[in-house]
Amino acid sequence: MAGGITKKLHLRRFRPFKPGKESIQSEHSLIGGPGFSRVVYCNNKESQEALTYGNNYVRSTKYTLASFFPKSLFEQFRRAANTYFLIIAILTFTPLSPSSPVSAVLPLALVVVAAMVKEAIEDWRRKMQDIEVNNRKVEVHRGEGVFDNAKWMNLQVGDIVRVEKDEFFPADLILLSSSYEEAICYVETMNLDGETNLKLKQALDATSKLHKDSGFQNFKAVIKSEDPNANLYSYIGSLQLEEQQYPLTPQQLLLRESKLRNTDFIYGVVIFTGHDTKVMQNSTAPPSKRSKIERRMDKIVYFLFFILVLISFIGSIFFGISTREDLENGTMKRWYLRPDDTTIFYDPSRAPVAAILSFLTFLMLYSYVIPISLYITLEIVKLIQCTFINQDLHMYYEETDKPARTRTSNLNEELGQVDTILSDKTGTLTCNSMEFIKCSIAGTAYGRGVTEVERALSRREGLPSAKEVTNGEGQVENSTTAAIKGFNFFDERITHGNWVNEPHADVIQKFLLLLAICHTAVPEVDEETGRISYEAESPDEAAFVIAARELGFEFYERTQSSILLHELDPVSGWKVQRSYKLLNILEFSSSRKRMSVIVRNMEGKLLILCKGADSVMFERLTKNGREFEEQTQEHINDYANAGLRTLVLAYRELDEEEYNKFNEEFTEAKNSVSADHEEMMEEVAEKIEKDLILLGATAVEDKLQNGVPECIDKLAQAGIKIWVLTGDKMETAINIGFACCLLRQGMKQIVISSETPKIKALEKVGDNSAIAVAFKANVLQQILEAKESLTTLRKSSKALALIIDGKSLSCALEDDVKGLFLELALGCASVICCRCSPKQKALVTRLIKVGIGNTIQQLVMEQTML
């Protein structure tokens, strides 16, 4: 959306109720409450019309027809040069002017009109985009189960809509049902948060059976909702249906501007419209964008104006002196001016006044020291550049059919002044297309594939490039291309059912079972071929389920309460059908860094199956479940060095009493509508995800995007500094850095790590306060030592790379340390921040923007003084 997305909370003032609806107002006041004053009457227009919430029309333009002229004029005269020329133009209408007013007014008018026309054209383009969006069509329930097409802008709160696959949601909706029996759907939120991973949403059981041909005729419900706010990741509300109250969470919320993917259709009820939607709450008005060059030109204008005033001042002083001396001693020095019979401009008896008036004349006479033609030229050049950018075939992205589009031409010159690029890894440097390539089970490493990072490592060390692997029969298998999307695994020891002959076949069986069950994927069967594919929330999940299928555990059906598999029976060697009752799903989050499911197998045993990052999983293992910990940790480190993403897998059996107690607390937390809903659920999950037994670890590869190494190399040659902020381990990030040319041969690496012997010794003692103090002192010492060596390294003309892990970064971003950290980082050509949380990524970005801005400003001031 125009103006970009910012985390800015906007509180909406609700409009007053319509008169004559006292009963509904009374009900509204009773069921609302502080922060929960929005009430939505689903499928009930008469009741909903009494609550006059806004319509679904949105406007992202900078101007309206009435405000264009005054606002645009204000924008033009924010420029120092235009204000100066305006003053000069006004002065040319006085008798002081040495030239015709046309000579000053016409160029100024051309500059202002050209800029205003450019602004009008750009805002018209925004208007056209708004018209296109507001006039999109969506199916709306008109009553008696009949759905009809309506424009987005005509949607009202409480409307029931049907959204088809690959369509955008027209407003903020509560999911009622979908084409899946489980009432789930997949949503792409790239337009909101830049994430390419699909988000899984699921409707309430109470509404999951509602469909076009049944249910909507008599469907009436009341939603009590939180007020409109800018938080994209939280939602609290409740749905009242047939005297029953059901809690609503972000799991049921579908946001405007996100897209329905991998789901044929959904039904939803509109709860927020237009500028009340979360995406619009996060949108700011189109700002008045001014480039650094334009701001610098203002400073140059001030400097030239100072020179102009100085020249005019000196000239007026000499003119005053000469005028005063014109009639001295009865002689007329400048007789041609007739000082004995002249106007005030040359009157020797009023020389000071003549000097002041001549000062103004000099200002107009020398006004062309500030070239107005330069501004006209710049505006014309910018418009032409925009045309070239919009028609540049090299900037057209064929996969999504998206050309380059300039929203404003004011920032064209910024493209050539990029100093630092901050990038994520997944989906930016890499394709976000995962392939299962290796695994560690029961302390044994499986998988003979070779990764891109390993091939880059071979090239760096001058070894023959590893491109091929050989299977047990001596046949060559190519590991660079996966025959099955998501599965690039080669190891004859466990493929084709051979795992049953391995020493720890029982552990391998549990490992593959966990891969087949611990997920939120949905199977889809191709009716022609019978082949099963999976729609998953993330590429990682899809790769795990595909790997389980290829190794003998085929997930083929999901219901709301069960998961069905075709399993390879290790005794008979045949595939058998088994059903697992799905009891609870403890979802993955960036704070939890793990996901669990609780199931009951056909023998009646309760199992918790858990997968997550090694940093949180190893600490949750029971003493008797660490048999393979050392070997698994070694393999994880090897996988990290090979640039692979790893997850640790573990499980345990639950007894009935423990599960019943957990389920009671979990249900209570899940049904809570309090503000700390998420924290309550995490607390309960923490109690059950413990005393686990280690099974092993997975390793998937996310290949680099085509041309990434070449692109980064070109950027480095242009002197652009590149920062990569990633959640990967340090070893993984370093090796990927070499694979994509972020780190290069001969580049000196400065590593700031939390894994120092001193810190490890303190961690064993367990004194948290001492650890925190010592840790910060240790990080500060590493930064100071790196700064001291920075000057020496620069003299050797070596490019520098800074690598810092997440724990150290948390200290480096503190107020008393971040200045030193920034100074060190700005002296390096490449910076890699490992194990970064989303919050740390935001803080680093803010620090760099402010730091670079201050540095540039300081350089400009130094250059101006010189």
The answer for 356, left when phi > 0, alpha when psi is -120 to 50, beta otherwise, is alpha
Q: Minimal CA–CA distance to 216: which of 277, 261, 258, 158? A: 158
**Is 765's pLDDT higher than 70?**
no
Q: How far apart are CA 320 and CA 359, in angstroms?
A: 10
pLDDT tens-digit series, residues 605-616? 999 999 999 989
Residue pLDDT, tens place only, 797-817 = 678 899 998 888 888 888 888
The mean per-residue pLDDT over the stretch 428-445 comes to 90
Three-state SS annotation for 659-708: HHHHHHHHHHHHCCCCCCHHHHHHHHHHHHCCCEEEEEEEEEEEEECCCH
Q: Is the pTM of this model over 0.85?
A: no
- Say if residues 594 and 611 touch (Cβ distance below 8 Å): yes
Q: How far apart are CA 480 and CA 156, in angstroms?
A: 52
Token pair 């939803």 in the structure block, residue: 268
Over residues 35-52, the mean pLDDT reads 79
pLDDT-wise least confident of 34-38, 348-352, 792-796, 801-805: 34-38
Q: What is the pLDDT of residues 573-589, one digit of tens each?
A: 888 999 999 999 998 87
To the nearest 10°, report the CA torsion of 495, 500, 503, 508.
Answer: 70
Confirm whether 424 is a catalytic residue.
yes
Q: Is the pLDDT of residue 8 over 70?
A: no
Residue 559 pLDDT level (bands cut at 50, 70, 90): confident
Q: pLDDT per residue over 296-313, tens digit each?
A: 877 888 888 888 889 989
| Domains, the chain, with CATH or none | 35-46+155-281 (2.70.150.10), 432-701 (3.40.1110.10), 706-865 (3.40.50)
d(CA 142, CA 160): 9
Predicted local distance difference test score (pLDDT) of residue 510: 95
DSSP lists the bridge partners of residue 468 as 478
pLDDT band at residue 17 under the 50/70/90 scheme: very low
For 148-211, what is the HEC assignment?
Answer: EEEEHHHCCCCCEEEEECCCECCCEEEEEEECCCCCEEEEECHHHHCCCCEEEEECCHHHCCCE
What are 766-796's pLDDT values in tens digits?
A: 666 777 788 888 888 888 888 887 777 766 7
- What is the pLDDT confidence band of residue 76, given thresholds at 50, 70 and 90? confident
Residue with tokens 């998988």: 447
Task: Give the pLDDT band of residue 353 (cuts 50, 70, 90).
Answer: confident
Closest CA to 500 of 439, 551, 554, 549: 551
Residue 147 has pLDDT above 80, yes or no: yes
Catalytic residue among 193, 298, 424, 691: 424
**Per-residue pLDDT averaged across 819-829, rounded?**
88
Q: Say whether pLDDT at 860 is over 60.
A: no
Q: Judge whether residue 293 has pLDDT over 80.
A: no
Q: Tell me the C-alpha distance between 382 and 844, whole Å.
A: 32
Q: Is the pLDDT of residue 28 over 70?
A: no
Quote the tokens at residue 509. Answer: 């069986």
Strand pairing report for 265-272 and 160-164: antiparallel
Q: What proportions of the chain, in percent to the nearest 5, are helix, strand and coil?
A: 45, 20, 35
* 629-656 residue pLDDT tens: 999 999 998 998 888 889 999 999 999 9
pLDDT at 144 over 90: no
For residue 776, count CB atoms less than 10 angstroms from its CB and return exposed for 0-12, middle for 13-18, buried for 19 or more. middle
